[in-house]
């Protein structure tokens, strides 16, 4: 069986590391994801356990696609009643990745696939097409260079939706991005972790999950993954894997996780999310301006997603970065640092030489993750 786990282009290497940790070694890196081979057991583990993947798809077939007739022909080989169930609505999401494929017309592609499903002989009735349903089964068709992959999105809701987020912060980062940043900073739970501008707590909560070896999607509700609604879904195996992953969770942290924000309201949002994520008891929250704080430990990893964007203005963001640089130099010399800042901001304001810079996107905004190693003098 072949699957595709998607992720931003810049983070493919980290997704590969995660797959290898799950024992999945047969894979091929793509532009925005990884195609891999896995039996159900490993694939179920990937659905519950990948921290950096955006979505997972099950591959149905590959085809050369010079025209819509090629798609029609390939669909004749697809036995939809052996894939889809009657009770679950479905929708179709084509991705036409170059100009040539765009000319095939998204609406034509949707119509052809839809007809293929609706005209198949289901024991009861075919599933209903409904692209406005809550979490419908999504058939995806990716086309580029006259080659196409037909697949089913088996995650359903995007995988950054872990099921614990509390609304109330205007500038959160995705959970998948927080996990990637932590991987880029080599976080493994063995050192104290401090997010001094935690906002809604995304980075600190993901850190606790990593430190406890807790599967990121383990608290998703029953039936939330599209996978669970497909023909052939093995509920007993799914439960076995879920139980195994639960059993692999450690009971305690090796080193503390601290989350702070200047705004009390956001600290409360973070605390609520941590409660929902069932990790609040492992975290230490505080409220204050980073510049005034005493480091919570002698050494550790400080990860920080600085405020930026139109809400606070560029001048203020630059001034804050300079102040953060000052605090880092004077109080956090023994800490490893990972700072997420917009690409347009100059690292020179920090007046500390970074060891490494990763270029990423936070939504549509180009950002960079600046990694600074501790000083050993
Ligand atoms: C971009 S947000 C962080 C978002 C967070 N990563 C999340 O996913 O929710 C930046 C946060 O820094 C906080 N902040 C701004 N200036 C601060 C300061 N001087 N000290 C501590 N926190 C500050 C803001 O209140 C805001 O919540």
* The pLDDT of residue 311 is above 70: no
Angle of CA points 78, 82, 83, to nearest 5°:
80
**Of 291, 258, 283, which is closest to residue 192 (Cα–Cα)?**
258
The three-state DSSP-derived secondary structure of the chain is: CEEEEECCHHHHHHHHHHHHHCCCCCEEEECCEEEEECCHHHHHHHHHHCCCCCEEEEEEEEEECCCHHHHHHHHHCCCHHHCCCCCCCEEEEEEECCHHHHCCCHHHHHHHHHHHHHCCCCCCCCCCECCCCCCCEEEEEEEECCEEEEEEECCCCCCCCCCCCCCCCCCCCCHHHHHHHHHHCCCCCCCCEEECCCCCCHHHHHHHHHHHCCCCCCCCCCCCCHHHHCCCCCHHHHHHHHHHHHHCCCCCCCCCEEEEECCHHHHHHHHHHHHHCCCHHHEEEEECCHHHCCCCCCCCEEEEECCCCCCCCHHHHHHHHHHHHHHHHHHCCCCEEEEEEECCCCHHHHCCCCCEEEEEEECCEEEEEEEECCCCC
Interval between CA 96 and ligand 1 midpoint (Å):
37
pLDDT tens column, 250-295: 999 999 999 999 999 999 999 999 999 999 999 999 999 999 999 9
What is the pLDDT at residue 222? Answer: 86
Interval between CA 271 and ligand 1 midpoint (Å):
14
What is the pLDDT at residue 193? Answer: 98
What is the pLDDT at residue 350? Answer: 87
Question: Strands 55-64 and 2-6: what pairing?
Answer: antiparallel
Q: How far apart are CA 185 and CA 337, in angstroms?
A: 8
Ligand 1 nearest-atom number relative to CA 293: 20
* The pLDDT of residue 71 is above 90: yes
Ligand 1 pocket residue status of 261, Cβ below 6 Å: yes
Best substitution site from 176, 197, 296 to test ligand 1's pocket, by max atoms within 8 Å of Cβ?
197
Ligand 1 pocket residue status of 289, Cβ below 6 Å: yes
pLDDT tens column, 129-188: 999 999 999 999 999 999 999 999 999 999 999 999 999 999 999 999 999 999 999 999
Ligand 1 pocket residue status of 169, Cβ below 6 Å: yes
Q: How far apart are CA 371 and CA 183, in angstroms?
A: 12
Ligand 1 nearest-atom number relative to CA 196: 21
Evaluate if pTM is beyond 0.85.
Answer: yes
* The pLDDT of residue 317 is above 90: no
Residue nearest to atom 1 of ligand 1 (CA): 307
Determine how many CB atoms are found less than 10 A away from the CB of residue 53.
28
Interval between CA 164 and ligand 1 midpoint (Å):
19
What is the pLDDT at residue 349? Answer: 85
Interval between CA 307 and ligand 1 midpoint (Å):
5
Q: In whole numbers, what is the pLDDT of the chain averaged over residues?
A: 96
* The pLDDT of residue 37 is above 70: yes
| C-beta of residue 40 within 8 angstroms of C-beta of residue 234 | yes
Q: How far apart are CA 186 and CA 217, in angstroms?
A: 21
Ligand 1 pocket residue status of 266, Cβ below 6 Å: yes
The encoded tokens of residue 50 equal 């990948």
Ligand 1 pocket residue status of 362, Cβ below 6 Å: no
Residues 6+ apart with CB under 8 A from 178: 202, 203, 205, 206, 207
pLDDT band at 36 (very low <50, low <70, confident <90, very high): very high
Best substitution site from 169, 181, 261 to test ligand 1's pocket, by max atoms within 8 Å of Cβ?
261
CA atoms within 13 A on the CB side of 196: 22
Interval between CA 200 and ligand 1 midpoint (Å):
8
Ligand 1 nearest-atom number relative to CA 200: 9
Ligand 1 pocket residue status of 86, Cβ below 6 Å: no
* The pLDDT of residue 219 is above 80: yes
| C-beta of residue 35 within 8 angstroms of C-beta of residue 3 | yes
């Amino acid at each position: 069986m072949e699957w595709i786990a998607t992720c931003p282009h810049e983070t493919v290497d980290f997704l590969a590391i995660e797959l290898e940790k799950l024992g999945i070694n047969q894979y091929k890196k793509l532009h925005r994801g990884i195609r891999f081979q896995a039996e159900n057991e490993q694939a179920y583990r990937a659905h519950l356990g990948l921290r950096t993947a955006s979505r997972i798809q099950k591959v149905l077939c590959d085809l050369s696609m010079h025209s819509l007739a090629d798609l029609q022909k390939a669909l004749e080989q697809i036995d939809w009643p052996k894939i889809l169930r009657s009770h679950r609505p479905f929708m179709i999401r084509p991705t036409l990745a170059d100009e040539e494929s765009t000319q095939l017309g998204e609406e034509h592609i949707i119509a052809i696939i839809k007809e293929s499903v609706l005209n198949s002989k289901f024991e009861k009735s075919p599933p209903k097409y409904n692209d406005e349903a809550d979490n419908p089964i999504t058939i995806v068709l990716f086309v580029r260079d006259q080659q196409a992959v037909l697949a089913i999105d088996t995650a359903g809701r995007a995988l950054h939706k872990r099921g614990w987020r509390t609304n109330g912060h205007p500038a959160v980062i995705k959970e998948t991005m927080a996990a990637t940043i932590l991987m880029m900073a080599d976080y493994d739970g063995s050192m104290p972790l401090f997010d001094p501008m935690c906002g809604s707590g995304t980075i600190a909560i993901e850190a606790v999950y990593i430190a406890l070896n807790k599967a990121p999607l383990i608290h998703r509700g029953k039936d939330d993954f599209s996978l669970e609604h497909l023909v052939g879904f093995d509920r007993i195996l799914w439960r076995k894997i879920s139980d195994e992953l639960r059993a692999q969770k450690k009971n305690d942290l090796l080193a503390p996780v601290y989350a702070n924000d200047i705004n009390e309201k956001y600290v409360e949002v973070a605390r609520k999310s941590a409660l929902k994520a069932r990790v609040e008891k492992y975290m230490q929250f505080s409220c204050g301006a980073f510049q005034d704080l005493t480091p919570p430990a002698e050494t550790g990893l400080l990860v920080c997603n600085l405020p930026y964007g139109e809400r606070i203005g560029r001048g203020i963001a630059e001034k804050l970065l300079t102040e953060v640089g000052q605090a880092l130099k004077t109080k956090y010399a023994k800490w490893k640092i990972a700072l997420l800042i917009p690409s347009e901001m100059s690292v020179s304001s920090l007046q500390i030489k970074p060891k490494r810079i990763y270029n990423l996107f936070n939504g549509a905004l180009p950002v960079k993750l600046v990694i600074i190693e501790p000083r050993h003098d």
